[in-house]
Amino acid sequence: GYAVWTSDGTRPGTFLLKTFPPNPELPQYSRTHHMIGVGDRLFFAVDERVLWTSSGHTTAVEPSIDFVAQTGQRIWGLYPLRDGALVRGESAYFFTDGTVANTVELLDVGDATTSSSVAPIPLANGLLFFLYLPDTGWEPWFTDGTPAGTRILEVAPGAAGM
């Protein structure tokens, strides 16, 4: 199995948060993925399907969202954004604060083979920049974590991609 630990950098301040036994149904995925810190919380994925959060205390590690059951998508990446995380699904981007109620789809990027493998880049003012590859060529996008704030960056309006 796999384990998540917390530490203040000292031996006495190092604690086991949670162990995850191997998943016999998905042995290739039985591990933690995509750990990110957002404020005083840790976000991470287990088996690429369940989003977990922790405040770093041994009693505060909990599964937040079964992402596959909720969205139909595996978690392919997590990126810090404001008070939550941008979640890169198989064919869409989502924003979550770690709760089902506040998890929203931002952009459907369609076929996973045409979506970006480039990690989003944090920008000023709580924005995240990422690339998307539709049939027309690479397109630069940015998001503030809301559907209305997720837009293409018009470099050359009307032109077909980069």
Count, residues in the chain: 162
Rounded to whole angstroms, how far apart are CA atoms 44 and 75?
10
Question: Tens digits of per-residue pLDDT, 104-113?
Answer: 999 887 765 5
Strand locations in the chain (E): 2-7, 14-20, 32-38, 41-46, 50-54, 61-66, 75-81, 84-89, 92-96, 103-108, 121-122, 128-132, 139-143, 151-152
Residue 12's pLDDT is 94
Strands 128-132 and 75-81, bridge-based pairing: unpaired
Rg (CA), the chain: 17
Strand order in the sheet with 50-54: 32-38, 41-46, 50-54, 61-66
Question: Tens digits of per-residue pLDDT, 86-121?
Answer: 998 888 889 999 999 999 999 887 765 555 555 777
- Max mean pLDDT among 30-44, 57-71, 85-99 falls in 85-99
Report the chain's terminal Cα–Cα distance, integer Å: 44
**Does 159 have pLDDT greater than 60?**
no
* pLDDT confidence band for 22 (50 / 70 / 90): confident
Environment class of residue 56 by beta-carbon count within 10 Å: exposed (0-12), middle (13-18) or buried (19+)?
Answer: middle
* pLDDT confidence band for 156 (50 / 70 / 90): low
Take residue 34 and report the two structure tokens written for it: 């995509």
